[in-house]
Amino acid sequence: MSENLPGDVFQECDETLVPFYKRFHKVFLHAKDHFLYDSNGREYIDLAAGISVTSFGHCNKQVNDAIKKQLDEILHVSNLFYIPGQAVLSRMISEKSFDGKTFFCNSGAESNETALKIARMTGNAKSPGKNRVKGLDPLLPNVEFVEFDSAADLEKKFGDDVCAVFMEAIQGESGIRPVSGEFAAKVSELAAKHDALIVMDEVQCGLGRAGKYFGYQWYDLQPHIITMAKSLGNGIPIGAVHVVPEVADKMQPGMHASTFGGNYVAVAAAVAVMKLLDDELLAHINEMGDYLESKFEALDEFKSGSVGEVRRKGLMIGADIVKRPVAEVIEALLDKGFVTLRAGENTLRLLPPYTITPKEIDAFGDALADVL
Ligand SMILES: *Cc1c(COP(=O)(O)O)cnc(C)c1O
């Protein structure tokens, strides 16, 4: 326990919080760009960005200046009034994706729930009972799960009663898995044939993370709806659902709402984020991703097979760890001053802030070789 923390923070938290998370015994007190500093003043290189949240660097100056300026002007009014920044932000999203209309909420889960609601309302309006959805866990009735990247399974389960397909272009939590071009083409074909919407969950892979403005742009595929959150506020909670006008214009006041959605401060943060997201940044993301991948390929362990497949798009990278639990690797990297993530069965996942440079990637490569 550090002298910079009051009492036993770990015990206090364990006694007072619902135990939904297994946490590392560490407290970070400040951060800048891709560096984190713990309560002992030790520096860490961040290769996680929260979980792809502080993608534009911790305490990004432009974003934080925008937040501070907005904070003292006005923070909240209800969505019963016009909030000008919402339109600015929507136009910026359109510029980087497709001409659409946007609904703002506060998280990725909410943005997907909203998309689901829009898809069902759209389907039911086309014909009663057209409300089956493919691609999410079967937690809700009439939602079916399609085998990952299986065009045959998708085709088998499709029908005229399907209102939407939900998918990630590059799955994050399952271990960084890009879908194939053939699968994306099948989604387009079947959605058109059966008049279903294509909903791309861009919460993790969107906003530059996968080396494009949005992950779907790697594919020949035109979504009707994209959902986003995580990187959009660079740490300030904001989610968005961006919808083609033909679908958006069928929605009516009262069908859906979010109390906090699109408040002034969240929108100011996101507008500052969108200003930073340009072709030059994408080039840097792809270059750094490439370099980071080369560190895995250079490992003796990669050649000997104790590191399995490495999958990457932009600065989303997943490396399957073969002969030991990935949790051990993550713990050992943390001891060496590197914050990393797990995903899927046994995948080491890296989602570093876009500010990362070859210097930190070199240091990570050395640490990884040591740990493995
Ligand atoms: C994190 C994540 C979500 C959920 O976002 P929350 O903001 O935690 O609700 C949804 N979809 C994807 C792909 C994600 O990575």
Instruction: Reply yes or no on whether the pLDDT at 1 is more than 70.
Output: no
Reduced to 3 states (helix: H, G, I; strand: E, B; else coil), residue 206 is coil
Q: Closest Cα partner for 327 from 349, 355, 299?
A: 349
Mapped onto helix, strand or coil, the DSSP state of residue 312 is strand
Q: To test ligand 1's pocket by mutation, which of 204, 225, 241 has the most ligand atoms within 8 angstroms of CB?
A: 204
Give which of 308, 342, 301, 340 is closest to 322, Cα–Cα: 308
With 90 as the cut, is the pLDDT of residue 117 above it?
A: yes
For residue 353, the one-letter residue type is P
Tens-place pLDDT, residues 211-241: 999 999 999 999 999 999 999 999 999 999 9
**Got the DSSP string for 162-190?**
EEEEEE-SEESTTTSEEPPHHHHHHHHHH
Would the pLDDT of 319 be above 60? Answer: yes
Give the mutation target among 53, 136, 230 for probing the ligand 1 site: most ligand atoms within 8 A of CB: 230
In this prediction, residue 139 carries a pLDDT of: 65
Q: Is the predicted pLDDT of residue 206 greater than 80, yes or no? A: yes
In this predicted structure, what is the pLDDT of residue 358? 98
Residue 39 C-alpha to ligand 1 middle, in angstroms?
28
Q: For 172-306, where are the E strands, in sequence order?
A: 177-178, 197-201, 225-228, 239-243
Task: Work out the pLDDT band at 116, boundaries 50, 70, 90.
Answer: very high
**Distance in Å, CA 299 to ligand 1 centroid:** 32
Ligand 1 in reach of 211 Cβ (< 6 A): no
How far is 275 from 140, CA to CA, in rounded Å?
Answer: 37
Tens-place pLDDT, residues 55-99: 999 999 999 999 999 999 999 999 999 999 999 999 999 999 999
Query: At 136, is the pLDDT very low, low, confident or very high (cuts 50, 70, 90)?
Result: low
In this prediction, residue 140 carries a pLDDT of: 76
The Cα 213–Cα 209 span in angstroms is 8
Which residues, other chains included, contact 107 with Cβ-Cβ below 8 Å and sequence gap of 6+? Answer: 229, 237, 239
Q: What is the mean pLDDT of the chain?
A: 95
Tell me which residue of 161, 165, 157 sits closest to 216, measured CA to CA. 165
**What residue's CA is closest to ligand 1, atom 4?**
108
Q: How confident is the model at residue 323 (pLDDT cuts 50, 70, 90)?
A: confident
Residue 306 — pLDDT band, cuts 50, 70, 90? confident
> pLDDT band at residue 7, thresholds of 50, 70 and 90?
confident
The region of weakest confidence among 33-37, 265-269, 299-303, 328-332 is 299-303
CA distance 153 to 254: 37
Determine the average pLDDT of the residues in 35-46.
97
Tell the burial category of 117 from Cβ atoms under 10 Å away from its Cβ (0-12, 13-18, 19+): middle
Q: Is 53 in a helix, a strand, or coil?
A: coil
The lowest-confidence range among 297-306, 333-342, 347-356 is 297-306
Nearest by Cα to 206 from 327, 334, 314, 358:
314
Pair 258, 83: CB distance under 8 Å? no
Is pLDDT of 129 > 90?
Answer: no
Asked if pLDDT for residue 5 goes beyond 80, the answer is no
108 lines ligand 1 (CB under 6 A): yes
Q: Using the predicted structure, report yes or no on whether residue 137 has a pLDDT greater than 70.
A: no
Tell me the average pLDDT across 334-356.
Answer: 97
What is the average per-residue pLDDT within 179-199?
98
CA 197 to mean position of chain CA atoms: 21
What does the pLDDT average to over 113-132?
92
Q: What is the pLDDT of residues 238-256, one digit of tens each?
A: 999 999 999 999 999 999 9
pLDDT of residue 244: 98
Q: What is the share, in percent, of the chain residues with pLDDT greater than 90?
A: 90
304 pLDDT band (50/70/90 cuts)?
Answer: confident
Is residue 202 in contact with ligand 1, taking CB distance under 6 Å? Answer: no
